[in-house]
Amino acid sequence: MWKDSVPAILMAHYPGMEGGTVIAKTSFGDINLGGKLPFVLPKRESDLPQVDWDATQIAYGYYHGYTLLEKEAIEPCLAYGYGLSYTTFELSQPSFVSREEGITACCLLKNTGSLRGDEVVQLYMGFNNSKADRPVKVL
């Protein structure tokens, strides 16, 4: 696949008036651009659900996006939440505190690289042995 022959892919979408400057600075490593995919990229079009392009309304099933691919054991091209950085980070083992109002998760994030940067810490949870039909994991 072509993506395996390049060191990075920058999806800029609609970057705004200063987008060209930021894309150039990012491409040359002058600044560290962070971010995560807010969707999953499948490997093949056949990994996507069928869509009636002439329909006036579309109803999504309970499983769609990354939850559908995981349920059907389909490996994506790029997973939901995937992202790269010019620097590196270290995440400590999380701790969890359960209270009546919910669960609090805490961890330490350390920039271990040579460039300034930021990171999005993603916490997924699942419901093992649930009697209800649920995704394997949810953000």
Positive or negative torsion for Cα 41, 44, 49, 51: positive
In a domain, 43, yes or no: yes
Q: What's the domain count of the chain?
A: 1
Is residue 13 situated within a structural domain? no
The answer to whether residue 98 is domain-embedded is yes
Within a domain: 26: no
Average pLDDT over residues 15-23: 91
pTM of the model: 0.73
Percent of the chain with pLDDT over 70: 100
Share of the chain above pLDDT 90, in %: 51
Average pLDDT over residues 22-37: 86
What's the pLDDT score for residue 48? 85
User: Which pairs with CB-CB distance under 8 Å and at least 24 residues apart come from 88-93?
Assistant: 88/112, 88/113, 89/113, 89/117, 89/119, 91/121
- What per-residue confidence (pLDDT) applies to 14? 86
Return the SS3 of 138: strand
Domain that holds residue 65: 32-138
Contact 36, 85 (CB under 8 A): no
